[in-house]
Amino acid sequence: MADLAPLLRAAEERLTALGVEEARLDLLYLAERAFGITLSRLRRADGVSVPQSAIADFQALVDRRATREPVQRILGDWEFWGLTLALGPETLIPRADTETLVEAVLKRRAERHRPWRILDLGTGTGAIVLALLSEYPQAFGVGVDLSPDAAAVALHNARSLGLADRASFLAGSWADALAGPFDIIVSNPPYIPDADIAALAPEVARFEPWRALAGGVDGLDPYRHLAQALPLLLSQGGLVGFEHGADQGPAVATLLRAAGFRDVVTLCDLGGRDRVALGTHPG
Ligand SMILES: C[S@@+](CC[C@H](N)C(=O)[O-])C[C@H]1O[C@@H](n2cnc3c(N)ncnc32)[C@H](O)[C@@H]1O
């Protein structure tokens, strides 16, 4: 057996020197995986001993983090809305900010037992639609992604969460293959201006799929397309909810209003930044 505290200290110094932010927390997640010790026990690392045989596994995970691979990708799964979601090379890591969109939809459509028909465009891991299905027990959800591999990961997640009998996932471009009507349409499309991607943190620029990030010259291409396409797919009074970048609130709201959406509002994430646009369509 070996003392964990000095191992963690050395790894933290190494990762911090390489520019990794919050290295300590990442290391606790990696240690939890390598040593099978709970996070709460690891937070008080003094006095924790670990088997010599697992130290090489831990160091291998730290080596991966040292290349700036995100801890979520190293672990292979991540939590969103209390649900554990598997990740794949083609899926974005689900972000806590995206829970703002889930929360906003739940507030606007508070009847939990209605058989809502939900569409999630650019579904990735299925995070948004699966979170909504977990809250609406009678709802049915469709998730679409341009990446067939992402759609397969989302289906896998639906199965492991016991939601697959109310969810369907397909590969395609936005809603081009769909007719509707849907009561709720959500999307967290790619919204980073193409030219800005290279300057993002290496965890994002090098390890997130390009097609999950790149939103065209100004980052707004997907909203332009979706604002035009979605009115035809929504039921009367149907709700649309978009996640967007912190500086895109006014532009996305303007696109929605121009496409005939009403009651358009912009909502902030937990950091107080514009993050979500909601609107309804008269049909
Ligand atoms: C920002 S990620 C969001 C993933 C997931 N919804 C989430 O919130 O974690 C955007 C997703 O849109 C998908 N995507 C990009 N272009 C698309 C298109 N034309 N049609 C459908 N999906 C697209 C990407 O593959 C990616 O999974």
What does the pLDDT average to over 132-142? 98
Q: Is the dihedral of CA 147, 151, 154, 160 positive or negative?
A: negative
What are the DSSP E strand ranges found in the chain? 2-3, 49-50, 77-80, 83-86, 117-121, 140-145, 167-171, 182-187, 234-243, 262-268, 274-281
Ligand 1: nearest atom to the Cα of 187: 6
Weakest mean pLDDT among 36-40, 149-153, 167-171: 36-40
What does the pLDDT average to over 124-142? 98
Contact 226, 189 (CB under 8 A): yes
Tokens of 70: 């995100």
Q: How far apart are CA 39 and CA 28, in angstroms?
A: 6
- CA–centroid distance, residue 6 to ligand 1 (Å): 41
In this predicted structure, the answer to whether residue 159 has a pLDDT above a threshold of 80 is yes
Collect contacts of 169-172 with beta carbons under 8 A, ≥24 apart: 169/123, 169/126, 169/142, 169/143, 169/144, 169/145, 170/142, 170/143, 170/144, 171/144, 171/145, 171/146, 171/147, 172/144, 172/145, 172/146
Tokens of 45: 């690392």
DSSP at 192 = B
Contact 130, 85 (CB under 8 A): yes
Place of tokens 């948004």: 128
**Using CA positions, which residue lies closest to atom 9 of ligand 1?**
94
- CA–centroid distance, residue 54 to ligand 1 (Å): 37
Give me the pLDDT at residue 3, please.
Answer: 92
Give me the pLDDT at residue 80, please.
Answer: 98
Q: How far apart are CA 182 and CA 240, in angstroms?
A: 10
Contact 233, 119 (CB under 8 A): yes
Give me the pLDDT at residue 197, please.
Answer: 98
- CA–centroid distance, residue 208 to ligand 1 (Å): 11
Helix locations, 144-248, DSSP H = 148-160, 202-205, 210-213, 221-229
* Residue to mutate (ligand 1; options 91, 103, 125, 146; most atoms within 8 A of CB): 146
Give me the pLDDT at residue 44, please.
Answer: 79
Distances (CA, A) of 202 to 20, 67, 69, 87, 89: 10, 9, 8, 18, 15
**Helix or strand (DSSP H, E) at 15:** helix 4-17
Give me the pLDDT at residue 223, please.
Answer: 98
Contact 240, 279 (CB under 8 A): yes
Chain segment 85-124, per-residue pLDDT in tens: 999 999 999 999 999 999 999 999 999 999 999 999 999 9
Chain segment 46-58, per-residue pLDDT in tens: 788 999 999 999 9
What does the pLDDT average to over 61-72? 98
- Quote the ipTM score: 0.99
Per-residue pLDDT band for 41 (boundaries 50, 70, 90) equals confident
Q: What is the mean pLDDT of the chain?
A: 96
What does the pLDDT average to over 120-134? 98
Give me the pLDDT at residue 1, please.
Answer: 86
CATH code of domain 78-281: 3.40.50.150
Q: How far apart are CA 196 and CA 198, in angstroms?
A: 6
Residues 6+ apart with CB under 8 A from 63: none
Place of tokens 């009507």: 181
Per-residue pLDDT band for 45 (boundaries 50, 70, 90) equals low
In this predicted structure, the answer to whether residue 40 has a pLDDT above a threshold of 90 is no
The CA-based angle 201-202-206, given to 5 degrees, is 130
Q: Count the neighbouring beta carbons within 10 Å of the beta carbon of residue 172.
A: 14
Which of these, 132, 152, 181, lies nearest to 86 by C-alpha position?
A: 152
Place of tokens 């007719």: 179
- CA–centroid distance, residue 10 to ligand 1 (Å): 38
Chain segment 172-216, per-residue pLDDT in tens: 999 999 998 999 999 999 999 999 999 999 999 999 999 999 999
Give me the pLDDT at residue 180, please.
Answer: 86
Per-residue pLDDT band for 22 (boundaries 50, 70, 90) equals very high
